[in-house]
Amino acid sequence: MRLGLAIAFMLATAAQAQPPRSAIDWLSQSLKEPPNFVINPPGRTGHPLNGTITTLPLDMVSRDAAGLLPPEITGFPRNLWGDTPVSEIIPLMQAVRPEALPEIAALYRQVLLAQSDPPQNSASHGQLLLARIDLLFRMGALDAAETLILQAGIDGPEIFRRWFEISLIGQRTNAPCTALRARPTLSSDVATRVICLARSGDWNAAALTVSLAETLGEVMVKDGDLLVRFLDPEMFSGLPDAGNPDPLDPITFTLRESLALPRPDGPLPLPYLNADMDIRTPARQRILAAERLVRANTAPPTLLFAAYRGARAASSGGAWGRAEAVQALDAALVSDNDERMYNALRDALEVFFGTGLYFAFTVEYADALAHYPPGPETALLAPELRRLLLLAGRPVAVWAGLGRPDDKKTLFATQLASNTPVVEISSKETPTNHAIHAAFTDIPPTRSDLPELLKKIENGNIGEVILRALSLLASGKNGDPAEVQAGLFLLRKLGLEDAARRAAIQLLLIPRGPT
């Protein structure tokens, strides 16, 4: 049976009771006057999006000025972009790989969320704002992207589409659907309208919308089939599965998830991992999603360690082994048993080393370990703990002088952490160590574009040079010491001394692992 005929048959009785209306009038009215509804997803009843959304469009200035972090927080000048045009800023933003190093991700996020004067050639529609939202989405930083959207204001289809898709992945569509009901011009997308009608409880209107859209050629057959299956999974369960599109889009992903259809082969793109962070998701699936987000320097370590602590291991090794190690270390920290603490800490350091999660482990436990009183057993782990505390930026005084001497990398990191001039290093050190040393002894990198970059700093093109420095650091981490030197050198010339030192310490002390 044809899709349109099937829906028409299903709704024939309801349709006979209604006076005839044009398709356009009916579609608009169905969004303006659906039944009243409030759907609060479990565990999110306090989310600010469940309340009234007030937006303040930026009518008199470019929307590119919108940001969450004022200059007083970032330390960036308000005129962050100087005279760098938007057409150059966006490709520079897209070139940064925040997953390469935690400090790169931290600075990058500050740039994406910074309040600043718009670039000189910025248009009122906010091209740079939309690019920043898209990049936060690509990173999987959906909460930050959504907050930036709400701060800028929902005043057109492009920004509304992004808001709706982010809300859909997070299963909190009440606010965008309410906004669409009040202003139907925010979206003409059939799937968006159908989902909002269904979420409001108006299943008949949603089904007729699909039927009319297919009849008018406004939706592809495979998309219409997926929407129909979403509206009545049992009646249309026999429809063939069109599979996952490439690239995957948020609406298709969410509809397929609701129908328990197969996911794409291979790793799921980062934004969609947020769907696995729901408390109802199986523990191992939630842990694996959190681990990937943390490895990408997108999610805070607290998110991952909460997942570890809430899991009951079903087997050993891998994610379950890390969960068991975390729970054992938590118990040992409050046991007042030095031998138990030694065993738990040794095991935890071993299972997190080289996994791409070591930095997250240091951040999670640094405060507790910086003040833990060493005993005869735990003192043997003092070198590992000094390394851990240096990486997390915490004091090492409690563990100073204990255990075997520190290795050369840790000694070098200690110099960097002390904010004092670095001393000479051995000629036998690695090329990367020599590059870091050169950057902190003010040896200029041998780059043909260095004079131009320094001139840009002098002229106030601060944001552009920050992005170029971050890209250099990300590339240098994987093999080119000269780029490490150039990236750190530029950060220091920009006045970002602390960030440069943190990045250098991370380059020295974070063990290689999967990304």
Residue 479: per-residue pLDDT: 73
pLDDT at 239: 78
For residue 252, pLDDT beyond 70? yes
Among 6-20, 123-137, 479-493, the minimum mean pLDDT is found in: 6-20
| Predicted pLDDT at 227 | 93
Give 346's pLDDT tier (boundaries 50, 70, 90). very high
- What is the rounded distance in angstroms from the CA atom of residue 105 to the CA atom of residue 110? 9
Angle, helix 127-139 to helix 86-95, in steps of 10 degrees: 0
Closest CA to 488 of 419, 437, 424: 437
Instruction: Give the pLDDT of residue 514.
Output: 65
Whether residue 35 has pLDDT greater than 90? no
Mean of all residue pLDDT scores within the chain? 86
For the cut 80, the answer to whether the pLDDT of residue 194 exceeds it is yes
Residue 52: pLDDT over 60: no
Phi and psi based region of residue 511 (left: phi greater than 0; alpha: psi -120 to 50; beta: remaining): beta
Residue 11 has pLDDT above 50, yes or no: no
Instruction: Measure the CA–CA gap between 282 and 279, rounded to whole angstroms.
Output: 8
Residue 502's pLDDT band (boundaries 50, 70, 90)? very high
**Res 423 pLDDT > 90:** no
Banded pLDDT at 51 (limits 50, 70, 90): very low
Q: What is the pLDDT of residue 61?
A: 62
Closest CA to 401 of 438, 374, 363: 374
User: At 16, is the pLDDT very low, low, confident or very high (cuts 50, 70, 90)?
Assistant: very low
Q: Which of 487, 369, 378 is nearest to 436 (CA)?
A: 487
CA–CA distances in Å: residue 52 to residues 48, 175, 506: 8, 8, 43
Confidence of residue 124 (pLDDT cuts 50, 70, 90): low
CA distance 494 to 18: 68
Least Cα distance to 227 among 217, 245, 214, 244 occurs for 214
- Is the confidence at residue 27, as pLDDT, over 50? no
What pLDDT score does 42 carry? 30
pLDDT tens across 58-99, in order? 444 688 999 999 999 999 999 999 999 999 999 999 999 999
pLDDT for residue 46 is more than 70: no
Task: Give the up-direction half-sphere exposure of residue 442: CA atoms within 13 A in the CB hemisphere.
Answer: 2
pLDDT at 32 over 70: no
- Mapped onto helix, strand or coil, the DSSP state of residue 69 is strand
Is 320's pLDDT higher than 70? Answer: yes
| pLDDT of res. 201 | 92
C-alpha radius of gyration, the chain, whole number: 27
pLDDT in tens, 386-409: 999 999 999 999 999 999 999 989
Q: Express each pLDDT in 351-387 by its tens digit.
A: 999 999 999 999 999 999 999 999 999 999 999 999 9
Percent share of the chain, pLDDT over 70: 87
pTM: 0.86
In this model, does residue 6 exceed pLDDT 50? no
Is pLDDT above 90 for 9? no
**Residue 428 — very low, low, confident or very high, per pLDDT cuts 50/70/90?**
confident
More confident residue, 394 or 122: 394
Q: Residue 70 corresponds to which amino acid?
A: P
Residue 1 pLDDT greater than 60, yes or no: no
